[in-house]
Structure 1
Amino acid sequence: MSDSSPVYWDPFDREIARDPYPVYRRLRAEAPLWYNDRHDFWVLSRWDDVNGGLVDWATYSSAKGPILEVIKADIEIPPGTLLMEDPPIHDIYRRLLARVFTPRRVLSLEPEIREYCVRCLDRLDGADRFDLMTEFANEVPMRVIGMLLGIPEADQLTVRERADAKLRTEPGQQMKVSAGALMDTDIFADYIDWRAEHPSDDLMTELLRAEFVDEKGVTRTLTREEILTYVTVLAGAGNETTARLIGWLAALLDRHPDQRADLVANRDLIPNTIEETLRFEPTGHAIARYVTRDVELHGQTVPAGSAMMLLVASANRDEQRWSAGERYDIRRKIDQHITFGLGTHYCLGAALARLEGRIALDELLNRFPAWEVDWDNTALSSTSTMRGWESLPITVGGD
Structure 2
Amino acid sequence: MTVDSATELYYDPYRPDINADPYPVFRRLRDEAPLYYNAPHDFYAVSRFEDVERCFKDRETFSSAKGAVLEIIRSGLAMPPGVFIFEDPPLHTVHRGLVSRVFTRRRIAGIERQVRAYTERTLDPLVGRGRFDFVRDLGAEMPMRVIGMLLGIPEEAQERVRDFVDAGLQTEEGRPMETGDGFLSGDFFAEYVDWRAAHPSDDLMTELLTLEFEDETGTIRRLAREEILTFVNIIAGAGNETTTRLIGWAGKVLADHPEQRRRLAEDPALIPGAVEELLRFEPPAPHGARHVTRDVEIHGRVVPAGSAMLLLMGAANRDERRYPDPDTFDVHRPPGPHLTFGVGAHFCLGAALARLEGRVALEEVLKRFPEWEVDWSGARLASTSTVRGWDSLPVVVGGAAA
TM range (shorter): over 0.9
Partner of 1:130: 132
Alignment check: 8 A CA contact 1:166 1:182 kept: no
For residues 27 and 212 of structure 1, the distance between their equivalents in structure 2, rounded to whole angstroms, comes to 45
1:169 to 164, 168, 171: 171
Q: Is the 8 A contact 2:66 2:77 kept in 1?
A: yes
1:292 partner amino acid: T
CA offsets 1:244-284 (integer angstroms, 9 cap, x no match): 00111111111000000111111000100000000000001
Cα distance between partner residues in 1 of 2:6 and 2:201: 62
Structure 1 partner of 2:70: 68
Instruction: Identify if the C-alpha distance between structure 1 residues 35 and 127 changes in structure 2 by more than 3 Å, giving closer, same or farther.
Output: same
SS of alignment partner, residue 289 of structure 1: strand
SS at structure 1 position matched to 2:288 = strand
Native 8 Å contact 1:100 1:206 kept in 2: no
* Residue of structure 1 equivalent to 2:188: 187
1:375-386 → structure 2 map (5 Å cutoff): 375-386=376-387
Contact 2:369 2:399 in 1 (8 A): no
Give 4+ residue runs of structure 1 displaced > 3 Å after superposition: 1-4
Give the aligned partner of residue 225 of structure 2. Answer: 224
CA distance in 2, matches of 1:236, 1:195: 19
Q: Structure 1 vs Structure 2: percent identity of aligned residues?
A: 56
Paired amino acid for 1:125: V
Distance (Å, rounded) in 2 between the aligned partners of 1:34 and 1:196:
49
Q: Which residue of 2 aligns with 1:249?
A: 250
Is 2:340 the counterpart of 1:339?
Answer: yes
Decide whether the 8 Å contact of 2:374 with 2:395 is kept in 1: yes
The residue type equivalent to 1:108 in the other structure is: G
Partner in structure 2 of residue 8 of structure 1: 10
Once the two structures are overlaid, the 10-residue window that deviates more, 197-206 or 62-71, is 197-206
Unaligned runs of 5+ in 1: none
Equivalent residues of 1:76, 1:179 under 8 A apart: no
> What is the number of equivalent residue pairs in this alignment?
398
1:140 aligns to what?
142
Moved more, 322-331 or 193-202: 193-202
Output the CA distance in 1 between the equivalents of 2:68 and 2:138: 28
Residue of structure 1 equivalent to 2:319 = 318
Whole-angstrom distance in 2 between the partners of 1:102 and 1:280? 26
The C-alpha deviation readout for 1:138-178, integer Å capped at 9, x for no partner, is: 10100001110111111100001001111100110111102
Mapped to 2, the partners of 1:70 and 1:155 lie a distance apart of: 28
Q: How big is each residue's C-alpha offset from its partner over 1:47-101, in whole Å with a ceiling of 9 and x where there is no partner?
A: 0000000010110010111111111110100111011100111001111111233
Deviation per residue, 1:332-370 (Å, 9 max, x gap): 012211101110100110000000010011000011011
- Asked if structure 2 preserves the Cα contact closer than 8 Å seen for 1:82 and 1:93, the reply is yes
What SS does the aligned partner of 1:365 have?
helix
Residue correspondence of structure 1 range 1-399 to structure 2 within 5 A: 4-183=6-185, 185-398=186-399
What is the rounded CA distance, in whole Å, between the counterparts of 2:10 and 2:255 in structure 1?
30
In the alignment, is the contact (CA less than 8 A) between 2:103 and 2:353 conserved in 1? no
How far residue 4 of structure 1 moved from its aligned partner, in angstroms, is 4.8
More moved, 130-139 vs 32-41: 130-139
TM-score (norm 2): 0.97
* Equivalent-residue separation in structure 2 for 1:74 and 1:36 (angstroms): 19
Counterpart Cα distance in 2 of 1:284 and 1:391:
17
Distance in 2 (CA, whole Å) between partners of 1:288 and 1:179 is: 20
Separation (CA, whole Å) in 2 of partners of 1:179 and 1:71: 14
Q: Which moved more, 1:26-35 or 1:205-214?
A: 205-214
Residues 208, 223 of structure 2: 8 Å contact kept: yes
CA contact (8 A) 1:100 1:207 kept: no
- The answer on whether the counterparts of 2:171 and 2:385 sit within 8 Å (CA) in structure 1 is yes
Matches of 1:139 and 1:350 in 2, distance apart?
A: 19
- For structure 2, the 5+ residue unaligned runs are none
Is the 1:44–1:309 contact (alpha carbons within 8 Å) kept by the matching residues of 2?
yes
How far does residue 2 in structure 1 lie from its aligned partner after superposition? 5.6
Letter paired with 1:19: D
Q: Distance in 1 between matches of 2:320 and 2:314?
A: 13
| Contact kept? 2:80, 2:184, Cα under 8 Å | no
SS in structure 1 opposite 2:37?
A: strand
Q: Which whole-Å CA distance do the structure 2 matches of 1:337 and 1:240 have between them? A: 20
* In structure 2, distance between residues paired with 1:250 and 1:116: 18
How far did residue 291 of structure 1 move?
A: 0.3
Structure 1 SS opposite 2:85: helix
Amino acid at match of 1:324: D
Matched residue type, 1:156: Q
Describe the SS at the equivalent of 1:377.
coil
Q: Which of 129-138 and 112-121 deviates more? A: 129-138
Contact kept, 8 Å, 1:270 with 1:362, in 2: the verdict is yes
- Contact persistence 1:77–1:179 (CA under 8 A): no
Whole-angstrom distance in 1 between the partners of 2:218 and 2:26: 46
Counterpart code for 2:286: H
Cα distance, 1:377 vs structure 2:
2.7
> What amino acid sits opposite 1:116 in the alignment?
Y
Q: What is the one-letter code of the residue matched to 1:7?
A: L
- Using the TM superposition, give the Cα deviation of residue 375 of structure 1 relative to its aligned residue in structure 2, in angstroms: 2.3
